Structure 1
Amino acid sequence: MFLKCKSKAKKAKQMPAVEPLQEGEEVADTTGKKWRLVKRLSQSTTELIYEVSQSGSQSSSKESNQILKLGPKDGRIFNEQNFLQRAAKPASVDKWIKQNKMDFLGIPSCVGFGLHADSYRFLIFSNMGEPLQSVTDEDKLLSEKAVLQLACRILNVLQYIHSNEYVHANINAENIYIKQGEKSKVFLAGYYHAFRYCPAGQHVQYREASRTPHEGAIEFISLDTHKGAGPSRRSDLQSLGYCMLCWHTGTLPWSGLANPDQVATQKQRYMDNVPALLSYCFGKKSVSSAFQTYLTAVMALQYSELPDYSALQAGLSAALLQLGGSLEQPITF
């Protein structure tokens, strides 16, 4: 079976692409460090991704190169920069890792940012490995074990950003990176749509049409986002559930629908009927009890409710253990 659901699903709102910069060109960040564009890796309607190296660096290893994300000066990339400076400072991430006795947390490390030619804004990240999208583009279904390994790592990141007043609001394979090694490091990147749902500790009120509806990858965004309400913690957890189903079963009830209102109608229909959603996706195959437990919990969350991250994590981890897997093992596709 192949993947009918893909992260490169229709985006509701297309923004004009920025004019690409030439490979070999240099940009200077706010500290004066210069970075040379080595290779253009990808281009979308809103951003360009380059492999870059620090000018004057002696290392020729590709592994030591960084990633540069380039976007229009006043575009979504500005929102991502704000999130990184406010909620993802390296000292805050390190403190969280120590407090929670973790070995790793997949928050991208931003090592530089700046403006270029008065019309571009750029962010520079440490190497995060390969995008999960490159795996799903090959129409591969992921094993339940691989999906649970990914979900556990992403859930850790979500708990961290949620505790820092933000939600991601656009979880999909394009925004997940995997750095293989002795252990697989899973990064959740792409904070263009990050939303401060709890400024100064005060949760925003649920108001439909208070924001542009349908923002993000249509296939995976939450019903809250479809309706133009500010995304909340439940929105991220529900999006992760849709991704898990897609990666493992290859389909969702709304796969192939181009109209975002029709997608939202389907999501509404299945919100209160998780068994029907699972039955559709798994077909004649045995339904995963871990998926059922996770989805039942996150679909029942109220808009401003604090999720029980420990219970969600424990359920996924226990299922992973039953399959003979662990977070210590590398993820295999």
Structure 2
Amino acid sequence: MPFQFCPQCGTKLQADFRFCPSCGEKFPAPAGAGPSGDDTICGSGESSGSFSPVSVSPRPPLGSPCRAAIRGKRSAEDPVPLQDASPVLPKRGKARGKTPAALKQKDGMEGLNSPPAKKAPTPVKGRGRSVCGRQVEEKELSEDNLPTSPSPFFKASPGGDPSPGPKPAQKSPQKESWVVRHNHFRRGSKLKSRSGKRVSAVTPPQEGEELTDTACRKWRLGKLLSQTEKDLVYEAFASNSKESKHILKLGAKDGRIFNEQNFLQRAAKASSVDKWIKSNRLDFLGLPPCVGFGLHALQYRFLIFPSMGQTLLSILESKATLPSERTVLQLACRILDVLTFIHSNEYVHGDINAENIYISMEGPSQVFLAGYSHAFRYCPGGQQVEYREASRTPHEGALEYISVDSHKGAGPSRRSDLQSLGYCLLHWLTGTLPWDSTSDPQTISAQKQRFLEDVPTLLSSCFGEKRVSSAVQQYVTQVMALGYTDTPDYPALKAGLNDGLLALGGALEQPLSSMTASYH
């Protein structure tokens, strides 16, 4: 059957077509028919409307030897070379400097004389970067160019690269024992570099960057004080102020810091705290006031607090000896006051440890319980949440101190906070816990479960041959016997701790001199 090709786009057409169905080009009928049984192809004539029939032998099938001969060399039987049968047609698409007619030409014949073009590698989608880009990013995270901080939270691991800053003085064997043992249990950070440094999943903003809270107050970032995998803590300067009287806690917009902000807005209002202090005749309640919050750069959420002093963890790491029993009991009474308040407002803390406890340098008897990123509303609307394992992520918080409830994925209750405080008291007094030798969450959970029903063995494992503190023994025995929904006897718990403090010649109002001496 005779056919022709469109001179504009090269589409194969029947002989009686008056326009091209592909590009819409109109053309007159061909001047004559080709030989019987052969196809005709219309080459471009001198004018755009003229056609000249050209005879072409049938194309051999793909893969045949004749096909290769046609590509490389003109056959003697062909009256016209294939390359001359139709002009080389450019690919379709927009190109600068070309006419619309030229852009319509098809590239179907071009592939016969040239090998297929090498396809460019397709980038893999993921965080807006290609595979190569992501590999570079992972390398940067895992090598030496990690964000660091002068905070005592960052210490080089044995065999790793030392952190920037002055070289620490040689520690005594007793101090080294405490620091190594305590740092061994700082397992809250799962994101670590090969050198053992703790890194944050949040990209730290630059020092000096300005942030604006919801009240339109501007805050300027100072030096980075500390960082974990969840958040970063900076010095914060108010607008036009050269003195830093605040700290800024910053985390991912939809991260754990949102839970902390929600708790502070619901249960830690300044008016409620003041009313509680007056009604319970307290001299102080260590709940940090949030003076501002907001979003920054569409990816960060931040909270502003007044400066609260040093973390208990940094103080413990700087001391060569364990804190005294009097100091530990004084800390316990202050923290128990805060737990009593937040429990009365339907919340539990969920992650009590030395890193979330601050000791004020201006008023050394002032102890703050901070870090409410794991706060849980255990009693919404006055209705106690039912005990249900695996209802939350298991093992959330500092593994060495969280309760068995948190290990099993149940929502923490009031007994969970009080038991966590008991583990802290034992660790601060003795420098050890029975599960020191393991970092496996399941093993730690199993040991804690066993000691719930065998408190004397728990105490003997921690104190060894040393005298067991009667006040701590009484406290731990009472809280380990609590049920999930039981209401603790807070006055009795505090009375037992306070009586032990008074017996040692201490008082709540006295400064924590042994804890803060190295910072004055």
Could you tell me how far apart the structure 1 residues matched to 2:205 and 2:362 are? 32
- Tell me the secondary structure at the aligned position of residue 56 of structure 1: coil
- Tell me the secondary structure at the aligned position of residue 137 of structure 1: helix
Residue-pair matches, total = 329
**Structure 2 residue 255 is the aligned partner of structure 1 residue 75:** yes
- Residue type matched to 1:329 in 2? Q
The answer to which of 6-15 and 192-201 deviates more is: 6-15
For residue 132 of structure 1, what is the aligned residue in structure 2?
312
Could you tell me how far apart the structure 2 residues matched to 1:27 and 1:7 are? 36
Q: What is the CA distance between 1:184 and its match in structure 2?
A: 1.4
- Tell me the secondary structure at the aligned position of residue 295 of structure 2: strand
**Structure 2 residue 445 is the aligned partner of structure 1 residue 268:** no
- Over aligned residue pairs, what C-alpha RMSD do you find? 1.5
Q: What is the CA distance between 1:49 and its match in structure 2?
A: 0.4
Matches for 1:1-333 after TM superposition, within 5 Å? 1=174, 2-3=177-178, 4-6=181-183, 9-11=186-188, 17-57=201-241, 60-62=242-244, 65-138=245-318, 140-181=321-362, 183-331=364-512, 332-333=514-515
- Tell me the secondary structure at the aligned position of residue 170 of structure 1: coil
- Tell me the secondary structure at the aligned position of residue 291 of structure 2: strand
- Residue type matched to 2:188 in 1? K
Could you tell me how far apart the structure 2 residues matched to 1:224 and 1:325 are? 34
- Residue type matched to 2:249 in 1? K
TM-score by length of 2: 0.62
Q: What is the CA distance between 1:141 and its match in structure 2?
A: 1.1
Q: What is the CA distance between 1:136 and its match in structure 2?
A: 2.0
TM-score by length of 1: 0.96
Could you tell me how far apart the structure 2 residues matched to 1:30 and 1:12 are? 30
CA contact (8 A) 2:264 2:290 kept: yes
Q: What is the CA distance between 1:6 and its match in structure 2?
A: 4.6
CA contact (8 A) 1:129 1:178 kept: yes
- Tell me the secondary structure at the aligned position of residue 205 of structure 1: coil
Cα distance per residue 1:117-169 (max 9 Å; x no partner): 00000000011111001122236411100000000000000000000000000
Q: What is the CA distance between 1:7 and its match in structure 2?
A: 8.4
The answer to which of 234-243 and 129-138 deviates more is: 129-138
- Tell me the secondary structure at the aligned position of residue 421 of structure 2: helix
The gaps in structure 2 that reach 5 residues or longer are 1-173, 192-198, 516-520
Structure with the greater relative contact order (CA < 8 A, sep ≥ 6): 1 or 2? 1
CA contact (8 A) 2:185 2:399 kept: no
Could you tell me how far apart the structure 2 residues matched to 1:89 and 1:257 are? 40
Give the fraction of aligned pairs with identical amino acids, expressed as a percent: 64
Q: Which has the larger radius of gyration?
A: 2
Cα distance per residue 1:9-61 (max 9 Å; x no partner): 2128659611001111100000100000111101111111000010123xx44
Could you tell me how far apart the structure 1 residues matched to 2:323 and 2:438 are? 23
The gaps in structure 1 that reach 5 residues or longer are none
Cα distance per residue 1:192-225 (max 9 Å; x no partner): 0000000000000000111110000000000000
- Residue type matched to 2:323 in 1? L
